[in-house]
Structure 1
Amino acid sequence: MPERQPDPTGADPDPGEAPGIAPSPGAVPTGSRVLLLNATFEPLTVVTAKRAVVLMLTGKAECIEASLESAFHSESLTVPAPSVMRLSRYVRVPYRASVPMTRAGVLRRDGRRCAYCGKRADTIDHVIPRSRGGTHSWENCVAACRVCNSRKADRLLGELGWTLDTPPRAPNRAAGGIMVLAVEPLPAWEPWLAAAA
């Protein structure tokens, strides 16, 4: 039987349910996202609220910021729903040569602004369409609004007379960059992400 790899968050591979703990009515769902910081306060990863509570109850992490409106309850314990947590012990993060590209990452990199018109973006576009040999990469994807994405379709920018103010590129591997770009951050995370950038 193959050996299980250790979890970089320090949690058990399958933490299961927090014993006797359940979200209160109207609380944040157990699948909600929580920013997990390393012991040095650098962004490390994003975990579910359920896993965050397990980390806290087992002493592997402490809550730095919690929701004032929701909590998890047991018969004898009330735990505020965490938003930002910090590991009790430092975890070394394996080096990664590049940042994995995701839709949320492209939107985050481009500030959720359409690369073509500057309005709010809600999707991504391949600058050189894939049907014309374009790659699905940081250097060929930009945030776009649905109107521009639809108008552009599978045409090249030159065919439309469009230009890009800034050519797309892979994001900087600054502290926390890999994790930040994997998901859309919550407002409560911004101070921690800004400090790590």
Structure 2
Amino acid sequence: MPRRNPKPACPSVSRSIPKRVRIYVFSRDGQQCRYCGCVNGPFHLDHVLPWIRGGDHSADNLVVACERCNVEKKDRTPEEMGWQLRPVGAEPGPGRPKKVVEFKPRPRPRWFAFAKAAEISRILFLEARIERRKALIADDHAERLRIQDRCVKRMERAGRLN
């Protein structure tokens, strides 16, 4: 028996968020949840006033949310959850990682004006991932230096370093 597709609740209204709006919201909010301040993804776009309750797909009604907050919020407003929207670029929340991967708009090459929306979205994603990896490499290097310093001090105490 073939499966029947259920009728959408509002057949005349599209549920897809325009790509230009997606790109704008992710570039505005960066890689940080606007609810809890988390800087660890994965991230989603979330409607402040849920779509099912009449919220629209405008940039004013969309924010970046971590997966945990997005699932927990469901179809409620932040006020109903007792949450407040954090300002763009705010420090991470308490008990969360303190590292903020800053979004820095860069000058774009001339060819960038000819990129399609999907390509721009992918470029922004890759640039954010590159910045996160740079931060991780810096952390790893700092940890390696701390370990090296501890080993040198042990060697000095043991009298093995001339």
Superposed pair shares fold, TM > 0.5: no
TM-score norm. by structure 2 comes to 0.43
TM-score norm. by structure 1 comes to 0.36
Write 1 or 2 for the structure with the bigger share of helix. Answer: 2
Write 1 or 2 for the structure with the bigger share of strand. Answer: 1
